[in-house]
Structure 1
Amino acid sequence: MSQELRSSFHEQLDEVRTGIARLGAGVTELVPRVTEILLDGDLEGAEYVIKGDDAYDAKSIEIEEQCFSQIALQAPVASDLRALVSAIKIIADVERSADLCVNICKAARRIYSHDLDSQLRGIIQKCGSQASLLFKEATEAYLNNDGVRAAALQDMDTYLDDLHRQFIQVIFESHAAGKIDLQVAVQLAVVARFYERIGDHAVNVGERTRYIVDGWIPQVPYAESRDDLPEASDIPT
């Protein structure tokens, strides 16, 4: 690859990285937003987020196509190839996290007008805050090629996993006390899973960032993508 072509290639690679970072920053802002939509029963806000997902998907596809184009035209090797292949995978993690935010909005519509007690509201707020923080750190680690920062995400996700378990326990307790009916409990249990999965995607971004930086490969495969969970409306009760 000539010096001129290499310079152009790295400019394209920087554009890809910046585009992905913008998508990641969007998810970072979207998580607390959909959390408030859920807590406030904001139907208008929920509809706005749901309709806006198409534009998010289109941008993800556009950046992904840039990656494929560079692989086909430039035939990169070593670290450059790692960066492009990892970028394609990171795009999927970011885009799927945005989809999970949309799913939270759909759940918010289904439980509209049902009151949530202070304990439930508190744990939902904590899950949203931690998921948003995880995505912020993952995005900034990727943008700055910061392997050390990326490595810290696993411990941060452990805390979100703990919150997920607490959330499920609070749901059981609220239902047993007659504060929420079974259908609301089901919806909230699925929401708890959505937050937990957003954290898993952030960890994936971190691990792929480490792979870009120094070729590090986790001993355990990347967190399984099990986001083809049924919507809570499809779960029989």
Structure 2
Amino acid sequence: MSSDTELHVPEEEAHGDLRRGFHHELDDIRDDIAKLGAIVTENIPRATDILLNQDLDGAEKLIVGDDEIDVAALALEERCYSLIALQAPVASDLRKVVAAMRIIAEVERSADLTKNLCKAARRIYGHPLNPAIRGIIQKMGDQATTLFKEATESYLAGDATRAAAIDDMDSYLDDLQREFMRTIFESHEAAKSSIDLQVAVQLAVVARFFERIGDHAVNIGERTQYLVTGLVRESLGAARHASRQAAGESE
């Protein structure tokens, strides 16, 4: 054999290896996003307990720990950019990368909101909360946890049906927020169980934090549906409307 002879790898085989590498990396990114989402899911009840118990040490630990989530989210985004730059994905492959990048952002912002709950715990430190307020905070924390868990798991499983249900589940969290706002201001105005105005304002912000976590969970659900079906939010709404119309016509 001549020393000038070169080993030739068929173009189709080389391309196939590249695509397999692409999908393997994309699967790894999906799994790592789900792991990051699981950490945030665990942090929601932690932050809720910190708020209810005015646990300053716990608040500090969670706030500091958020830096690790930020670093992990940034690393995941960089991996997505690398996939786009090196593989130039199109069609469904590009959709998967775009969905992953959007979901990373939703997870990271939700982590920031759990950090904000801990900061709120520090601001209301020393001000006891009445049972009605404590009860609704617990309910909001529980529902936000459920929503985020469903969002993360539906993304990992690629389950568009499960993801679609998150929007309806979020309605209960919205109802709790409205109930909480009424309770705050009723307590503030009540002569025998008044809340300091600054505490009342801070609690109103707390309700907003929980509500925003729910919104991010809904967004993850919508991105999961986009990933599976290729339909964006407006298209999903039109599809639901058409489905309802068809069901009505058949009755």
The question of a shared fold, defined as TM-score above 0.5 by the shorter chain, is answered with: yes
Secondary structure, in 3 states, of the residue corresponding to 1:99? helix
2:184 is aligned with 1:200: no
Match of 1:214 among 229, 237, 243: 229
Match of 2:60 among 47, 50, 56: 47
Distance 1:31 1:152 in 2: 20
Secondary structure, in 3 states, of the residue corresponding to 2:234? coil
Aligned residues: 221
Counterparts of 1:131-146 in structure 2, within 5 Å, are: 131-146=144-159
Cα-to-partner distance string for 1:203-227 (whole Å, 9 max, x where unaligned)? 0000000000010111289xxxxxx
Per-residue deviation at 1:50? Answer: 0.7
Secondary structure, in 3 states, of the residue corresponding to 2:233? coil
Distance 2:183 2:113 in 1: 21
> What letter corresponds to residue 192 of structure 1 in structure 2?
A
Gaps of 5+ in 2: 1-13, 237-251
Distance 1:129 1:7 in 2: 40
Cα distance, 1:220–1:214 mapped onto 2, change above 3 Å? closer
TM-score where L is the length of structure 1: 0.91
Correspondence for 1:12: 25
Distance 1:104 1:144 in 2: 29
Distance 2:83 2:139 in 1: 41
Correspondence for 2:177: 164
Is contact 1:93–1:205 with CA below 8 Å preserved after alignment?
A: yes
Distance 1:156 1:37 in 2: 25
Correspondence for 1:155: 168
Identity %: 63
Gaps of 5+ in 1: 222-237
Is contact 1:164–1:193 with CA below 8 Å preserved after alignment?
A: yes
2:138 is aligned with 1:125: yes
Correspondence for 2:249: none
Distance 1:171 1:11 in 2: 50
Distance 1:115 1:36 in 2: 14
Rg larger in 1 or in 2? 2
Counterparts of 1:92-107 in structure 2, within 5 Å, are: 92-107=105-120
Per-residue deviation at 1:179? Answer: 2.8
TM-score where L is the length of structure 2: 0.86
Secondary structure, in 3 states, of the residue corresponding to 1:2? helix
Distance 1:107 1:218 in 2: 33
